[in-house]
């Protein structure tokens, strides 16, 4: 049993269970049904991309998994624990096992980068101030930010640096699960490619399981192990991108075999350069 597995077991979580299981999820806003029987299992250590058209419920799915929205039906399990039945101790244990990078970073504008990264450690750990400062500096370096970035506030950072600062905060507790909401949105092709490379490196070196909502076809082709497709109020496919290229589902065909999809595939085949 690894140290991570031992820690999971001590928290009453199941180290043998998939990191995420969504079973017959139903989500609705009044009469508007978003999900009607969504089923999805995320494998340990994989980078899973999640795609779907506008209104397909990608963000609703993410918010349901991390407990920001209560499902209208179905079950969500994290490391084997039904999150709707988790007591305070188990819910706290689950939250320490994941990190979340929201699309806009969700950084506190009045705090420096170091203070942003340290904030969850101050709130949820018993570490000393010196230990928290050292850990914050380590996470800032881990995501490729220069040391000087720690003393800057979010408004003083470029878009790419803000993404990295948000990622550093998401990694504060050394999570096993990392949730990314449109991580490359708003970045230029060079910055997006660099961020993809960072996520790929971190997932491999830290053994992270990554759940990534994205529209970025380049990201899907270069760093995902599988892609889950939300359509028709369900997950209609969960396969590697190259398998999805052969799907007969009309939305999948349009998405992956349209002009942008063909360009992303050609770029990867030619050596991974973004267009």
pLDDT digits (tens, 9 = 90+) for 216-252: 999 999 999 999 999 999 999 999 999 999 999 999 9
Q: What is the pLDDT of residue 12?
A: 66
Say if domain 14-86+178-275 classifies as CATH 2.30.42.10: no
Specify whether the CB–CB gap between 264 and 275 falls below 8 A: yes
269 has pLDDT over 80 = no
Summarize pLDDT for 76-109 with one digit per residue, the tens: 999 999 999 988 888 888 888 999 998 766 789 9
In this prediction, residue 8 has a pLDDT band, given cuts at 50, 70 and 90, of low
Q: What is the pLDDT of residue 130?
A: 94
For the chain, what are the domain ranges? 14-86+178-275, 98-174
In this prediction, residue 2 has a pLDDT band, given cuts at 50, 70 and 90, of very low
Which has the minimum average pLDDT: 50-54, 136-140, 265-269? Answer: 265-269
Rounded to two decimals, what is the model's pTM?
0.90
Q: What is the pLDDT of residue 9?
A: 52
């Amino acid at each position: 049993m690894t140290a991570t597995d031992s820690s999971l077991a001590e928290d009453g979580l199941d180290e043998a269970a998939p990191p995420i299981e969504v079973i017959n999820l139903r989500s609705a806003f009044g009469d508007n049904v978003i999900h009607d029987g969504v089923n999805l299992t995320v494998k340990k250590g994989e980078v899973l991309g999640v795609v779907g058209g506008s209104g397909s419920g990608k963000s609703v799915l993410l918010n349901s998994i991390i407990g920001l929205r209560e499902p209208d039906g179905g079950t969500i399990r994290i490391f084997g624990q039904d999150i709707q039945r988790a007591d305070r101790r188990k819910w706290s244990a689950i939250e320490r096992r994941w990190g979340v990078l929201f699309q806009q970073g969700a950084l506190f504008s009045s705090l420096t980068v170091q203070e942003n990264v340290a904030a969850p450690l101050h709130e949820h750990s018993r570490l000393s101030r010196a230990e928290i400062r050292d850990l914050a500096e380590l996470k800032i370096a881990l995501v490729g930010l220069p040391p000087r970035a720690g003393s800057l506030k979010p408004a003083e950072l470029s878009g790419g640096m803000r993404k990295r600062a948000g990622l550093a905060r998401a990694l504060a507790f050394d999570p096993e699960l990392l949730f990314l909401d449109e991580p490359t949105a708003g970045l230029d092709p060079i910055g997006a490619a660099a961020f993809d490379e960072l996520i790929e490196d971190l997932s491999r070196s830290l053994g992270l399981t990554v759940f990534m909502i994205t529209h970025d076809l380049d990201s899907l082709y270069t760093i995902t192990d599988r892609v889950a497709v939300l359509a028709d109020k369900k997950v209609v496919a969960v396969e590697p991108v190259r398998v999805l290229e052969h799907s007969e589902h009309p939305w999948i065909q349009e998405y992956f075999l349209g002009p942008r999809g063909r360009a992303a595939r050609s770029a990867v085949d030619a050596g991974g350069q973004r267009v």
